[in-house]
Structure 1
Amino acid sequence: MESIINFDEILNLVGTPENRLKRYRACLNEFDRLNYDDHFIKQIRLEIVQLENLVKKTTSL
């Protein structure tokens, strides 16, 4: 499987919730495309919900 994130992106994704959200969504899109699901994927989905709430709070201030 090809990587959907290059090395430069990995170094830049550690920081903001928006960047982490972008990375997690890209991962989920790939897993959905492969019709793959497991406990780790469920954790990513939960993290996405938390990040979305965090982003909403910070953008509404």
Structure 2
Amino acid sequence: MIMDELLNNLGAPEDKIKRYQACVNEFDQLNFDDVYIRKIRNELISLEKNMKRTDTR
């Protein structure tokens, strides 16, 4: 199983946001950036937007 499949299938969206945010924070502290980290960052933004839309309904 690849990492994307693992992360996409675990827990509620809130849990996924926490995991993605922890990952992004860790790499920010290391001043590290690559395509995979940008993908995680974009997915995090998308999840947060979806959560806000869900909360306002």
Q: Percent identity?
A: 49
The structure in which a higher percent of residues are helix is 2
1:37 corresponds to which residue? 33
Residue 7 of structure 1 corresponds to which residue in structure 2?
Answer: none
Displaced runs of 4 or more, over 4 A: none
Q: Structure 2 length as normaliser, TM-score? A: 0.78
Counterpart of 1:4 in structure 2 is none
What is the aligned length? 49
Query: 1:49 Cα deviation (Å)?
Result: 1.1
Aligned-residue CA RMSD (Å): 1.3
Q: Is the 8 A contact 1:17 1:54 kept in 2?
A: no
- Deviations along 1:24-58, one digit per CA (max 9) or x if unpaired, are 00001100111110000000111011101110011
TM, length-normalised to structure 1:
0.73
Structure 1: gaps of 5 or more residues: 1-12
